[in-house]
Amino acid sequence: MRTLVTGGAGFIGSHLADALTARGDSVTIVDDLSSGKEANLAAALRAGARLQRSDIRDAGALARVVADAQPQVIFHLAAQVDVRISLADPGFDARTNVEGTINVLEAARQAGVERVVLASTGGAIYGDTEVLPTPETVDALPMAAYGQSKFCAERYLGLYERLYGLSTVALRFGNVYGPRQDPHGEAGVIAIFCGRLRAGARPRIFGDGTQTRDYIYVGDLVGALLRAGETRAGGAVNIGTEEETSVLDIVRTLSALIGPDTPEPEFAPTRLGELDRSCLDASRARELLGWSASTPIEDGLRLTWEAFEGG
């Protein structure tokens, strides 16, 4: 199969590129390398994947790449993912996540692409809700521009289905973690904690640490992406574990892995736009994709910590 991955040099995208090349796909990776790293693609490039350095906000350049690659499926992972940045500069967030998605859809339409799979977000779209685990039927009430822009991007998928018959699906991810996640950004608390602990620094907890998230291991997530590309399931589909894990739980598990000399956490004020609780109902993913998460948080954290130790 011919596949194209936007944001393919990033954390999730590079794992997906590895899986696609491993199954024998002809893979084109689109990334402007503003946050993604070519080093993440070492295995995929050796296996024959092509890297095209391009920005999804450049509609003309993206259309040329897609027309040349002629993919059957596009996995659209390129995005602005930092909640803090989205609040500080919502216009930039929208240009990347909304306009960038429109450019992907338009390039797909022009090139006759069969299917587009969008990486969306779960907790950031639903906002604060008392319905936990949260199904896709709960109203979207984002608490940050990031969640709002992703919700808008999903609406454009529906538009292109109605107008042009393009097959699309939006996967609403839980909090993804695993090897290759950047420990120096604002997104990805597990990677940030691992990076600080490896440097002998104290992990910083915003709030009291009781806030929960649905943490999903990147290997499980890649399995969901592959299934989404193979099916014709549409609409929004949650991709999570249906389990709540607190920030304090993460610290305790990492401390048990590292040993008694693990630095104690430090606490800072709660940040604007952060949710108290988030957990996704994944029953639709089981029904439509035949997929469910299989990596317990303890195993995923161990694999992540071992990758940081080796890095």
Q: Which pLDDT value is given to residue 187?
A: 65
Distance between CA atoms of residues 202 and 174, nearest Å: 25
Say if residues 237 and 171 touch (Cβ distance below 8 Å).
yes
Q: Is residue 29 part of a domain?
A: yes
Q: Is residue 293 part of a domain?
A: no
CA distances from 31 to 51, 186, 238 (A): 7, 20, 25
Q: Is residue 234 part of a domain?
A: yes
Task: Name the one residue in this structure whose structure tokens are 């957990």.
Answer: 279
Name the domain count of the chain. 1
Q: Which pLDDT value is given to residue 51?
A: 98
CATH number at residue 8: 3.40.50.720
- Structure pTM? 0.96
Torsion of CA 157, 31, 97, 72, to 10 degrees: 0
| Cis bond upstream, residue 133 (ω within 30) | yes
For residue 304, give the nearest of 186, 180, 175 by alpha carbon: 180
Q: Which pLDDT value is given to residue 309?
A: 75
Q: Is residue 208 part of a domain?
A: no
Q: Is residue 194 part of a domain?
A: no
Quote the DSSP letter at residue 59: H
Domain around 70 = 2-177+215-241
Ranges under pLDDT 50 in the chain: none
Q: Is residue 278 part of a domain?
A: no
**Which residues have a catalytic role annotated?**
146
Q: How many residues are present in the chain?
A: 311
Distance between CA atoms of residues 216 and 143, nearest Å: 21
Q: Is residue 301 part of a domain?
A: no
Q: Which pLDDT value is given to residue 8?
A: 98
